[in-house]
């Protein structure tokens, strides 16, 4: 068979499949075969059409149909590059084929080829969706028309894919805009809000429909346009309700040249609050450590002064004129000692004498004193909850907390007002837990103090718990009252919250962890018997003034006093001398007082020890607290307090 003749393959009645071989061999880089669905009832005309399509040098694969059913089946059975259709056939026509093509939703170029169609019918076909039409006597136009329409179909398919990708991208962007936790705002070149996502609505407390089209600087901080390309910037903005919100803000220019901006905002208000709380806690702990160290050294100084004053009084007659001045020195030492105890409470080194108790009882025990302290102009009200949960606490320390808060409240109401002390049971919720880094349990007991005074400015609230911070006039306060409150509450594993509105008053809320069980009754302790004298006492103290003062006081009281300035010297003395009592400073150079106590206990089990320290009893080793042969005395102390402590320890030996 000649190479230029087509090979015809018949596939059934009314249907032919032809594979045409070109006269010239196809180059290696030939395009893919052209897939043609041919709607034609004449085999001769079909051959002419195929020859016409070959002129572009392409391999043509075609399928001929001449009925509606065959067209429908072929249309959906394979992908087609083009449909070439006669205008009218005995059982089918081009308009019906066009209708079926449009129903299928396929985008296949449709070209009308006819020998008899007039212009009117051709226009009808074009309106129905045909892409081109030509006469059978002008088939030279067919191949270029097919190539053109196939190229257009490829472009349309690419546009559809691009449109679909754009729609998917827009849907993805819309989903991101709606669900991302950060606020996203689009701003026009004119500075107007174009879009606001739901997160931005929540952050600023607005509705998008209210602000779109409004100036962006009604929400965003002034000058935000200058942040373009500068990464995250910290800023503040005011919500619709007037509250301030801390923001991390980033601004970028939208590509496209229309100078639109996209602004990302993140609400970091809670993070800033937690950071401030951590910084405040760290600062308080640092200052507390400093305060504790200063308190220890200061207590040593006060003990030396007080011992010297007591010795001077013993050297003078009772009616000597200097007795009054020396007594005043002792009183001032006691005042200074009380100030130091406040420092220790702030530093959380003041010991807690904890027991199960009711906060209601703490309020009742101090209520009469509070009424005298706050005076007549201020009305004191108590609202004590029934069935209040029990807490574990030191009643004396909690009375100090209540007293400090009430005195502050009184000072905030110089013209009078109402001071309300309230107790209640409180269940910890997620919001409360989020405000505090550690919460000891879900059940808390709340003690609140509310006043109707001047209130506390927002700038002052950040500093009220700092030691020595005060807004009172010189001489009206030490600046330690609220610092002590904070220290005691933290020592009880509690929390303090403050709310205040200038001109309306302030509320301090103390939250203390509840425990199971009922409060213990207050223990009544009788005063110890008068000190007895006699015996040998070893004073172990590194401060020379304190050491010598204590030794002289003990000798004046009938004791034999030995001294040592460090633990090693004390242990050496104990190895050769019988001693009834060791007065041991808890903080010594070299071997510490606590370590020295353990060594004394091991080598001399019968020795009695009185530990003294400028710190609180909390510094004592638990072993010391359990030992009936030991006791603790906090500096500074009076001559009488020293003798009572000595008698208590020596009396425990006699009892045992």
Contacts 24+ apart (CB under 8 A), 132-140: 136/45, 136/48, 139/48, 139/49, 139/52, 139/113, 140/52, 140/55
CATH 3.40.50.2300 domain locations along the chain: 7-156, 536-655
Strand pairing of 390-393 and 443-451? unpaired
Rounded CA separation 642/314 (Å): 15
Question: Concatenated DSSP letters for 522-566?
Answer: PPP-PPPPPPP--SEEEEE-SSHHHHHHHHHHHHHTT-EEEEESS
CATH 1.10.287 domain locations along the chain: 272-338
Q: Which fold has domain 272-338?
A: Helix Hairpins (1.10.287)
Q: Which fold has domain 536-655?
A: Rossmann fold (3.40.50)
Rounded CA separation 132/135 (Å): 11
R_g (Cα) of the chain, nearest Å? 48
What is the architecture, at CATH level 2, of domain 355-515? Answer: 2-Layer Sandwich (3.30)
Sequence length of the chain is 656
* Nearby residues of 519 by Cβ (< 8 Å), 6 or more positions away: 356, 357, 358, 361, 390
CATH 3.30.565.10 domain locations along the chain: 355-515
pLDDT at 528: 44
pLDDT at 509: 92
CA distances from 125 to 115, 346, 530 (A): 15, 96, 127
Series of mean pLDDT values for 10-residue runs along the chain (656 residues): 34 36 37 88 90 84 92 91 90 90 91 82 85 87 89 91 88 79 87 88 88 87 81 82 84 81 86 75 64 69 82 82 83 72 57 78 86 84 92 85 88 88 89 76 90 81 66 53 81 88 89 84 40 78 88 89 90 87 86 81 83 69 60 82 85 58
Comparing CA positions, the residue from 626, 536, 619, 629 lying closest to residue 585 is: 619
DSSP state of 385: P
CA 342, 346, 351, 355 dihedral sign is positive
Which pair of structure tokens corresponds to residue 580? 């009834």
What is the architecture, at CATH level 2, of domain 180-267? Answer: 2-Layer Sandwich (3.30)
The CATH H-level superfamily of 7-156 is: Response regulator (3.40.50.2300)
Q: How far apart are the first and last CA of the chain?
A: 133
How do residues 334-362 score in pLDDT, each as one tens digit? 767 766 665 665 555 555 567 788 999 99
């Amino acid at each position: 068979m000649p190479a230029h003749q087509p090979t015809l393959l018949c596939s059934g009645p009314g249907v032919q499949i032809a594979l045409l071989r070109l006269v010239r061999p196809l180059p290696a880089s030939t395009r893919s075969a052209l897939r043609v669905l041919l709607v034609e009832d004449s085999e001769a005309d079909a051959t002419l059409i195929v020859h016409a399509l070959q002129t572009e040098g392409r391999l043509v694969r075609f399928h001929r149909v001449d009925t509606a059913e065959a067209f429908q089946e072929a249309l959906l059975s394979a992908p087609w590059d083009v449909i070439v259709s006669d205008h009218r056939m005995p059982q089918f026509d081009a308009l019906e084929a066009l209708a079926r093509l449009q129903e299928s939703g396929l985008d296949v170029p449709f070209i009308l080829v006819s020998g008899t169609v007039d212009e009117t019918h051709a226009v009808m076909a074009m309106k129905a969706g045909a892409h081109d039409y030509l006469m059978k006597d002008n088939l030279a136009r067919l191949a270029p028309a097919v190539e053109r329409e196939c190229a257009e179909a490829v472009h349309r398919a690419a546009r559809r894919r691009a449109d679909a990708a754009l729609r998917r991208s827009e849907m993805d962007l819309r989903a991101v805009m709606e669900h991302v936790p950060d606020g996203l705002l689009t701003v026009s070149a004119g500075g107007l809000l174009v879009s606001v996502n739901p997160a931005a609505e929540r952050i600023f407390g607005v509705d998008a429909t209210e602000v779109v089209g409004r100036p962006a600087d009604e929400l965003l901080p002034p000058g935000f346009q200058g942040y373009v390309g500068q990464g995250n910037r910290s800023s503040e903005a005011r919500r619709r309700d007037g509250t301030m919100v801390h923001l991390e803000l980033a601004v970028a220019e939208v590509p496209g040249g229309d100078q639109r901006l996209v602004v990302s905002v993140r609400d970091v208000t809670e993070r800033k609050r937690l950071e401030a709380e951590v910084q405040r806690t760290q600062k308080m702990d640092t200052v507390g450590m400093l305060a504790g160290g200063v308190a220890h050294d200061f207590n040593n100084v006060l003990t030396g002064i007080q011992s010297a004053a007591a010795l001077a009084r013993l050297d003078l007659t009772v009616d000597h004129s200097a007795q009054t001045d020396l007594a005043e020195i002792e009183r001032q030492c006691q005042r200074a000692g009380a100030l130091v105890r406040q420092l220790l409470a702030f530093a959380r080194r003041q010991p807690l004498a904890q027991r199960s108790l009711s906060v209601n009882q703490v309020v009742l025990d101090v209520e009469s004193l509070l009424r005298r302290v706050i005076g007549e102009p201020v009305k004191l009200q108590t609202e004590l909850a029934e069935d209040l949960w029990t807490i574990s606490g030191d009643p004396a320390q909690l009375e100090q907390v209540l007293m400090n808060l009430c005195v502050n409240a009184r000072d905030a109401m110089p013209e009078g007002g109402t001071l309300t002390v309230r107790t209640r049971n409180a269940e910890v919720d997620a919001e409360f837990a989020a405000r505090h880094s550690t919460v000891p349990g879900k059940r808390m007991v709340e003690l609140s103090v509310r006043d109707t005074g001047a209130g506390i400015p927002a700038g002052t609230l950040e500093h009220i718990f700092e030691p020595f911070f005060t807004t009172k006039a010189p001489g009206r306060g030490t600046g330690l009252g609220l610092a002590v409150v904070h220290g005691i509450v933290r020592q009880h594993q509690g929390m303090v919250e403050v709310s205040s509105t200038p001109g309306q008053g302030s509320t301090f809320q103390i939250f203390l962890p509840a425990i199971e069980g009922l409060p213990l009754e207050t223990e009544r302790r009788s005063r110890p018997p008068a000190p007895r004298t006699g015996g040998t006492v070893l004073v172990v103290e590194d401060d020379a003034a304190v050491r010598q003062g204590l030794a002289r006081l003990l000798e004046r009281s009938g004791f034999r006093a030995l001294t040592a300035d460090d633990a090693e010297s004390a242990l050496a003395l104990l190895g050769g001398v019988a001693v009834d009592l060791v007065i041991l400073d808890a903080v010594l150079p070299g071997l510490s007082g606590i370590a020295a106590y353990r060594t004394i206990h091991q080598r001399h089990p019968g020795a009695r020890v009185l530990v003294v320290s400028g710190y609180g009893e909390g510094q004592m080793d638990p072993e010391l607290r359990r030992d009936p042969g030991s006791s603790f005395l906090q500096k500074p102390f009076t001559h009488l307090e020293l003798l009572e402590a000595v008698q208590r320890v020596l009396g425990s030996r006699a009892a045992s």
